[in-house]
Amino acid sequence: MASDMGWELYRTLLAVLEEGSLSGAARALGITQPTVGRHITALEASFRQTLFTRSQTGLLPTEAALALRGYAQAMQSNAAALERAAAGGQGEGAAGTVRVSASEVIGVEVLPPAIVQLRQAHPALKVELVPTDRVQDLLQREADIAVRMVAPKQDMLVARRVGDVEVGMYARSDYLAQYGTPRTFADLAGHALIGFDEETPFVRAATKPFPVWRRDAFSLRTDSSLAQLALIRAGGGIGACQVALARRDPMLVRVLPQHFAVQLPAWITMHEGLRASPRCKTTFDALVACLAAHIAAA
């Protein structure tokens, strides 16, 4: 097996896995289709295994290709981190690119104003914002900094707990005017509830004290926290919402405040190897201040 295969071959492998064809991968990478074909052939020759088989719908990955996906994705993350570090390594100020991961709601509803202010203060800084409810691996450098609602468990991370984000149940006032305001958990049976479709370990732990908050009770289900928020704002029913966000909307009314309250610990984390990086330290401090203000608004 060749030990000197370049990153571009694995980048091509990922593109074919994602696009499902040589032509699609070529368009995504900005190279020619024959070049993509040569890269895949070189990988197959090196590993002495077939990576893709042809079908009427395109290229189908073999088990060998699927086994390589995770390793190639780790290489992709590290290559991107290397580029960010190189771009931010010149000068003493906050310059270069920093990649920030946050939950969907925090990434869309809370962080943008702080990021805009950060860029105004540091014009040479570039910020990549990744709103996702998937916990990205900072050790694999999928992101430089992460805003998380769970305590970090990995070593080699710099972490600061900012406080607790309170979540309550909310509905639009006109929905409650039409269907009534529940006074007990039992009353929720007569209402349209908005919640998750797939119960993750995080959701299970957060809602364990509230057995009424279960999948089969929901009239509207989605695993997107942004979609849940949009459905609440649209008057679709009763759902979970961060208290600080609900206070921005005079139409939203808290339901059963004495019975339903979830405290989510808010952490800002980054790889300890980035502690001395001006771009990362400046961004880290700005995110801490932003999240602290968000929590205080509740």
Work out the percent of the chain whose per-residue pLDDT is above 90.
48
Taking each helix axis as running N to C, give the angle between helix 7-19 and helix 22-29, from 0 to 180 degrees, rounded to the nearest 10. Answer: 120
pLDDT digits (tens, 9 = 90+) for 73-87: 777 767 766 666 665
pLDDT average, residue stretch 84-107: 76
Please tell me the predicted confidence (pLDDT) of residue 1.
46
Does residue 286 surpass a pLDDT of 60?
A: yes
Does residue 297 surpass a pLDDT of 80?
A: yes
CATH of domain 94-298: 3.40.190.290
What is the spatial distance between Cα 132 and Cα 128, in angstroms, rounded to a whole number? 13
Contact indicator for 272, 157 with CB cutoff of 8 Å? yes
Does residue 40 surpass a pLDDT of 80?
A: yes
What is the spatial distance between Cα 196 and Cα 213, in angstroms, rounded to a whole number? 9
What is the spatial distance between Cα 215 and Cα 235, in angstroms, rounded to a whole number? 20
Read off the pLDDT band of 294 (50, 70, 90). very high
pLDDT average, residue stretch 239-254: 96
Best CA proximity match to 242, nearest among 147, 127, 128: 147
pLDDT digits (tens, 9 = 90+) for 107-116: 999 999 999 9
Read off the pLDDT band of 276 (50, 70, 90). confident
Q: Which residues pair with 263 in a beta bridge?
A: 166
What is the spatial distance between Cα 262 and Cα 258, in angstroms, rounded to a whole number? 11
Does residue 135 surpass a pLDDT of 80?
A: no
Best CA proximity match to 135, nearest among 163, 102, 100: 102
pLDDT digits (tens, 9 = 90+) for 228-238: 999 999 999 99
Residue 55 phi, psi (nearest 5): -140, 175
Read off the pLDDT band of 142 (50, 70, 90). confident
Considering the entire predicted model, what is its pTM? 0.69
- 114 versus 29: which is more confidently predicted? 114
* Residue listed under structure tokens 């071959």: 9
Please tell me the predicted confidence (pLDDT) of residue 273.
77
Contact indicator for 165, 149 with CB cutoff of 8 Å? yes
CATH of domain 7-85: 1.10.10.10
Q: Name the residue type at position 15.
A: A
pLDDT digits (tens, 9 = 90+) for 120-131: 999 999 999 999
Mean pLDDT of the chain: 87
Does residue 90 surpass a pLDDT of 60?
A: no
* Residue listed under structure tokens 């049976």: 189
Please tell me the predicted confidence (pLDDT) of residue 85.
62
What is the spatial distance between Cα 23 and Cα 72, in angstroms, rounded to a whole number? 20
Domain extent listing, the chain? 7-85, 94-298
